Structure 1
Amino acid sequence: MAAILHRSLSDGAGTLRAPVVRVRGLTRRFGTRAVIDNLNLEIAAGEFVALIGVSGCGKSTLLRVLADLDAEIEGEVIVAARRAVSFQEPRLLPWKSVWKNVVLGLPGRPDRAHANAALDEVGLGYRADVWPKVLSGGEAQRASLARALVREPDLLLLDEPFGALDALTRINAQKLVAELWQQHGYAVLLVTHDVEEAVLLADRVVMMEAGVIAHELAVDLPHPRDVSQPGFSALRRQLLTWLGVDARAA
């Protein structure tokens, strides 16, 4: 089956139409094994979706397809033209200063003003001229997020961006992502293993299993969220049950 890859969802006037992601019958094989098998998914403009599932279920593969980093697929994938990705590893070039890493890959000459604005948004403006090696783990992740924001995306793809952070830094990073999403209004797809993180951040949680979206859960809790909110524990228990985890033990 021929693939239709990453056709823009913008109309002639440049106005984005919902959804920002439309996937129909997506299949991705590695040899004879279908890691993604006839998967369907839509993400609306401005929606925050968390994608969970056991290791090896295809979450990161799906994100790479949506980021146009993997084109060996079958099916139809239509994604907003303006999208950005932030991975678990910040992937900063050590021989470039932080601000030059932020604007890396943008067309034209590097624009210091745009880099500074993005770094200020993530609270890292004071580190613009340093080398990446002197950044803490949390600072490096914020620099990676600034590099995504400077592209003014309609869709932000996050592949376990907080996985390597310590507990306190992770909480602060989650709060920052939630605030930036509410401020800018872009759509987010967050790949995570952490069900608590999924409920804290997302409008909707989708679970992959056997190469498809097996479950979906709407998260109708007001922002900002915390684990003590009424209804939070019930949502967390439901996700753990889908994952085959004893919620009481967890």
Structure 2
Amino acid sequence: MATDVHRPVTSKTSQAVRVEGLSRSFDGRAVLDRLQLGIASGEFVALLGRSGCGKSTLLRVLAGLDRDIEGTVLVPRRRAVAFQAPRLMPWKKVWRNVVLGLPGRPERALAERALEEVGLGHRSAAWPRTLSGGEAQRASLARALVREPDLLLLDEPFGALDALTRIKAQRLVGELWRRRGCAVLLVTHDVEEAVLLADRVLVMDRGVIAHEQPIDLDRPRDITDPRFAELRAGLLERLGVDTAAEAA
């Protein structure tokens, strides 16, 4: 039986997310198993784990897209999600995609401000099919930002991008987080990305948070820093990757 499902956190709390005893099953198989999670206001958290461990299910629960759960989930009213696939409507121009789903009749200027923030202001009148992969992902981020979220949920948003575009997108997300000050939960398979962006990295296994790693490195971070390499290696080991074999 679900309790306190998706009840909003109050403005007085220092937590953006509080999850207690969260369980979710599919066909009798527990994907989330009495999971506990807290995310502070303004904190950037990255979530790692093998495929099928429950990362995306947790994100969907926090986004309010999956309510067939048990446990307590406290999240801000203002939250937004960006997925790996930008999910732009091809029959609507970019600016209309950005304000899609907002109440009332939002003005174009609202979309254009968000598009300018992600470096896409010059493409506001374009059709989605004319955008590059990186541009489409930035439009998806603008659609999330226009909602002024206190919690930004990112589900593998860079997974389909080429290496150079991915680096640019990572930098953009870091800049947006510092500027906006919202809490961020990034689901990713990329350990280096997690260490590069997050204040704290969580490792999921069998439906629970199995490991927590604070990232106490100065920003901007240098991937050649020995401490960066040490944190990356430790997280890879937690994920079952033989770092000695990788080095060889």
- The two structures share one fold, judged by TM-score above 0.5: yes
Q: How many residues align?
A: 246
Secondary structure of the structure 2 residue equivalent to 1:46: coil
1:3 to partner: Cα distance: 2.9
In the alignment, the residues of structure 2 paired with residue 117 and residue 2 of structure 1 have an alpha-carbon distance, to the nearest angstrom, of 39
Q: Secondary structure at the match of 1:231?
A: helix
Deviation at residue 93 of structure 1 after TM alignment = 0.2
Q: Read off the aligned partner of 1:101 and give its amino acid letter.
A: N
Gaps of 5+ in 2: none
Q: 2:136 aligns with which of 132, 137, 140?
A: 140
Task: Kindly indicate whether residue 195 of structure 2 is the aligned counterpart of residue 193 of structure 1.
Answer: no
User: Which amino acid letter does the alignment assign opposite residue 2 of structure 1?
Assistant: A
Deviates most, 127-136 or 227-236: 227-236
- 2:127 corresponding residue in structure 1: 131
* 1:177 and 2:166 are equivalent in the alignment: no
- Name the counterpart of 1:203: 199
Distance 1:215 1:29, change over 3 A: same
Cα distance in structure 2, aligned partners of 1:37 and 1:153: 28
Post-superposition Cα deviations, 1:113-158, rounded to whole Å, max 9, x if no partner, equal 1101000000000000000000000000000000000000000000
Q: CA deviation at 1:230?
A: 3.7
In structure 2, distance between residues paired with 1:244 and 1:47: 27
- The alignment status of 1:18 with 2:18, answered yes or no, reads no
Which residue number corresponds to residue 71 of structure 2? 75
Q: 1:88 is matched with which residue? A: 84
Deviates more, 1:226-235 or 1:172-181: 226-235
CA contact 1:100–1:110 (8 Å) conserved in 2:
no
Q: Is 1:48 equivalent to 2:47 in the alignment? A: no
Cross-structure match for 1:3? 3
Q: Give the aligned CA root-mean-square deviation in angstroms.
A: 0.9
CA distance in 1, matches of 2:111, 2:103: 13
Aligned-partner Cα distance in 1 for 2:171–2:39 = 22
The correspondence for 1:112, drawn from 108, 115, 120, is: 108
Letter paired with 2:240? G
What is the alpha-carbon distance in structure 2 between the residues aligned to residue 100 and residue 30 of structure 1? 36
The 1-side partners of 2:20 and 2:116 are apart by 39
Secondary structure of 1:63's match? helix
**TM-score between the two structures when normalised by the length of structure 2:** 0.97
In structure 1, the partner of 2:159 is: 163
Distance 1:156 1:245 in 2: 29
Q: Deviations over 1:144-195 (max 9, x none)?
A: 0000000000000000000000000000000000001011100000000000
2:59 maps to which residue?
Answer: 63
Question: Which has the higher mean CA deviation after the structures are superposed, 17-26 or 38-47?
Answer: 17-26
Amino acid of the residue matched to residue 39 of structure 1?
L
Q: Which amino acid letter does the alignment assign opposite residue 8 of structure 1?
A: P
Once the two structures are aligned, what percentage of the paired residues are identical?
69
Letter in 1 for 2:5: L
Whether the 8 Å CA contact 1:54–1:243 is kept in 2: the answer is yes
Structure 1 runs (4+) deviating above 4 angstroms are none
Unaligned regions of 5+ residues in structure 1, if any? Answer: none
Structure-1-length-normalised TM-score: 0.97
CA distance in 1, matches of 2:226, 2:5: 42
In structure 2, the partner of 1:222 is 218
